[in-house]
Amino acid sequence: MITGALQVSGGGLPLLLVRRRRASFRPPQAVASDAAATTGREEGGKVALGGSGVAVTKLGVGAWSWGDTTYWNEFQWDDRKLKAAKGAFDASIDCGITFFDTAEVYGAGISGAINSESLLGRFIKERQQKEQVEVAIATKFAALPWRFGRGSVICALKASLDRLGISSVELYQLHWPGIWGNEDYLDGLGDAVEQGLVKAVGVSNYSEKRLRDAYERLKKRGIPLASNQVNYSLIYRNPEDNGVKAACDELGITLIAYSPIAQGALTGKYTPENPPKGPRGRIYTPEFLTKLQPLINRIKEIGGSYGRTSTQVVLNWLVCQGNVVPIPGAKNAEQAREFAGALGWSLTDEEVEELRSMAREVKPVIGFPVEKL
């Protein structure tokens, strides 16, 4: 097992040494007046996660699909898909994308063939055998109804660290609000910081009210709430409508956007004649894709003027919102390289607003129910 914490450097995106060393606890101070000013601060091509002091690449890679057999991968996992996932990891590193998001429930138990955390840990170890690399890992605690007390957070975190083969992570998040025990879970996050098991803590799928409550509870311990990971894309802008995006900007909390390309619907890959298969086909139906086509066509036109793909345009649109780190899921090296091409350029303000206006005409019927709590 590699020891210590994955270090993040503010200097460019070189492949640096992963140093593993447990430091004495010094919680980053959560100062409300400074939070918004420090959020999104860029250093050497990276961006700070809230007021935590942890810096990550402006775009990350989601590992939800790695090992999954219930939503992705056409319900099966084999060596070919394993090699493809490894290719996605290596290509991301090669392109300077070093921020990876996983979770204890991704690919675990009934949801998959192999745990996503275990795969990520394996990929890091194999890469380390070839060269020194720098990686920032985010993972998540599942607020399952049979988990009680702050100690359940530490117990789950240590199990995640074992699967990852490391002794600490950059970011540990509550995956969703629990039916009960949320204050204990937040206390557990604080304990994890103080024990040196994590460098920063965040939440996921939290409403504005829950977000503010979590921020205040951690602030009392001098620990900033670094992030809120929510579903956010050009065609799914609930974080703007429900106050979450504004609250993140106000409090200095980074918004991490999952499903930023609407699970492939915004890439132009799918058409009314060729809708996605599996569970996604129930969301992105031929009828919906028909309504989406004018927007898809305009995205493609704009991309052509920059020599960029539709995928790169919609990811760049999110980056242009400010204080947003998209984490598209990469299943192979080709996708990973394409995602990296969303950085290093920018849409104009006029293009950003034009796409926003056109997207108002279409909105998929999706959403994690707890977003409304």
For 187-192, which contacts have Cβ atoms below 8 Å and span 24 or more sequence positions?
187/150, 187/153, 187/217, 188/141, 188/149, 188/150, 188/151, 188/152, 188/153, 188/154, 189/153, 189/218, 189/223, 190/218, 190/221, 190/223, 191/150, 191/153, 191/154, 192/153, 192/154, 192/157
Contact yes or no for 64/280 (Cβ under 8 A):
no
Which sign, positive or negative, has the C-alpha torsion 88, 92, 93, 94? positive
Compute the chain's Rg from CA coordinates: 19
Where helices occur in 228-309 by DSSP H, the ranges are 238-241, 244-251, 286-306
Give me 154's structure tokens.
Answer: 């530490």
How many Cα atoms are found within 13 Å in the side-chain-facing hemisphere of 185?
A: 29
106 given a catalytic annotation: yes
Q: How many CB atoms lie within 10 A of CB 131?
A: 9
Of the candidates 215, 199, 129, 139, the one whose C-alpha atom is nearest the C-alpha of residue 173 is 139
Distance of CA 265 to the CA centre of its chain: 18
Which residues share a beta bridge with 230? 257
Distance of CA 71 to the CA centre of its chain: 18
Catalytic residue among 106, 232, 236, 258: 106
The set of catalytic residues is 106
